[in-house]
Amino acid sequence: MDVQMKRGLLEVCVLAAIRDSDSYGYRIIKDMKPYVDISESTLYPILRRLEAAGYLTVRTETHNGRVRKYYHILPLGVERIRQFREEWRELTAVYRFITRPPEPPGADPDEAASAGKGERNS
């Protein structure tokens, strides 16, 4: 996948992972795993970027005698998810255009047959 596109998608994924309840790094990775595989070192810059952009805040809590960072979504982050869903609607329209079946050509019976095949395949 295109790097820029994947980066943008992962950002929204991370926001979605903390949308319902605050979460910590390892749990975000685990929650996302069934859908998208993300490594620690990929997640870290994303979290920093989202924090800097005001999409989430970080708070520190003690857990089992050590410190753990919890990420909390901000209104701007919720807005980003909503925005993404709108963008996605536009994208699916573009996708439908890109993958539309080939137009039936004129009178040539051979080409009409192959066009029919293409339609069935898609």
Partner 1 sequence: MTKTVFMRNLSDRLVSVTPERISPSDAMRSLDYYEEMIDDRVEDGMSEEEAVAAVGHPDDVFRDILAALPSSPQPRTEPAHSSEAPSPEKKKSSPWRTALLIVTSPVWGTLLVAAALVLFSLYIVLFALVVSFWGVFASLAISGAVLIASSVPLFIGEGMPAAMASLGMGLAALGLAILFFFLCTAFTRFSARLTDVTFRGAVSLFRRKERRS
Among 33, 69, 72, 100, binds partner 1 (CB under 8 A): 69
- Rounded Cα distance, 64 and 62, in Å: 7
Q: In degrees rounded to 5, what are phi and psi of residue 21?
A: -150, 155
Among 5, 35, 45, 92, binds partner 1 (CB under 8 A): 45
Residues 81-120 as x/- pattern, contact with partner 1 by CB under 8 A: ----------------------------------------
**67 lies in the site for partner 1, by CB under 8 A:** yes
Please report the beta strands in 5-92, taking only residues with DSSP state E, as ranges in sequence order. Answer: 23-24, 56-63, 66-73
- Rounded Cα distance, 112 and 107, in Å: 8
The owner of tokens 């753990």 is 68
Shortest distance in whole angstroms from residue 46 CB to partner 1: 9
Residues that bind partner 1 (CB under 8 A): 24-27, 30, 39-42, 44-45, 48-49, 52, 62, 64-69
